[in-house]
Amino acid sequence: MNPTRLVLFDIDGTLLSTYRKGWEEPFTSAIVLSFKEMGISVTLRVSDYRAGGKTDPQIIWELLEGNGVSEEDFAKALPVIQKRYLRSMKDMIKGPQHVQLKPGVKEVLADWETRKELLMGLLTGNFEEGARYKLETHKLNRFFPFGAFGDGTKNRADLPARAVAEAKRLTGQEFKGKDIVIIGDTPNDVKCGKPLGARTIAVASSNYSLDELKAENPDYAFTDLIDKATVLSAVLDPLSA
């Protein structure tokens, strides 16, 4: 049986959460030190910054706002920042004690892994290396043979088309419209699926309330993934484009 649904999971806030310092301190130190090496002094304000639903390059760019950094300097610094950030993040996230699994995740993934009608992948703004590292703390990588990651783009909306193309490369199938399912915890997760007419499932498992997510008109919205049967129905129910 060929899969009939391409199910794409966000990571942070949807599958798991790292403690705030696990991303904040590595990002800020990597940015400041990398630009210092270029002779550019930058000041970052992160206390009220909301990183959810954004790509890692977008987060870096937005944290630099107000520092007068040019696109050219950003492009030059980004590979250095990325390498330094990932090294620092790994030093701070030592294992599962620093990464919290969201309710129902393990049970849903274990169940869906056995369902031939589902093809699971990732749709995350994380750099791929960082995404894989976070997932491996709870042995989740085996559920996701492919995905679309934040490497190389400041625009979350770029990712669904990348994921669809990767799924076609791996399976020969082309998924369209509501056969593409995006599961995420932020308004940006819902918004990014709209250009493809994808099915969107919002989960209020992180920093956005159920009402905030419903305001983006997802196809479905849940407080968590605990009710496996209900969530599976949301994935498989017939929907018109």
For 79-137, how does the pLDDT look when each residue is reduced to its tens digit (9 = 90+)?
Answer: 999 999 999 988 888 888 889 999 999 999 999 999 999 999 999 999 999 999 999 99
Distance CA 190, CA 202 (A): 7
Q: Read off the DSSP letter of residue 189.
A: H
Q: Say yes or no: 157 and 46 in one domain.
A: no
Answer whether 0.85 is exceeded by the pTM: yes
Please count the structural domains in the chain: 2
Q: How do residues 20-53 score in pLDDT, each as one tens digit?
A: 666 788 889 999 999 999 999 998 988 778 888 8
Q: Say yes or no: 113 and 171 in one domain.
A: yes
Q: Read off the DSSP letter of residue 12.
A: B
Cβ atoms of 215 and 221 closer than 8 Å? no
Q: How far is CA 118 from the centre of its chain?
A: 19
The pairing of strands 199-203 and 180-184 is parallel
Q: Which domain covers residue 36, as residue numbers?
A: 21-92
Residue 209 in domain: yes
* CATH number reported for the structural domain that contains residue 211 in this entry: 3.40.50.1000
Q: Read off the DSSP letter of residue 177.
A: G
Q: Say yes or no: 171 and 187 in one domain.
A: yes
Q: Say yes or no: 232 and 130 in one domain.
A: yes
Instruction: For residue 64, report the phi and psi dihedrals to the nearest 5 degrees.
Output: -85, -5
Q: Say yes or no: 127 and 230 in one domain.
A: yes
Domain boundary among 41, 65, 92: 92
Q: Say yes or no: 107 and 214 in one domain.
A: yes
Q: Say yes or no: 84 and 190 in one domain.
A: no
**What one-character-per-residue DSSP string does 197-214 give?**
T-EEEEE-SSSS-HHHHH
Mean pLDDT to the nearest integer, 153-172: 94
Q: What is the mean pLDDT of the chain?
A: 93
Q: 233: closest CA among 135, 117, 154?
A: 117
Q: Say yes or no: 9 and 49 in one domain.
A: no
Distance CA 95, CA 78 (A): 26
Cβ atoms of 15 and 188 closer than 8 Å? no
Cβ atoms of 49 and 207 closer than 8 Å? no
Element (H, E) at 88: helix 71-92
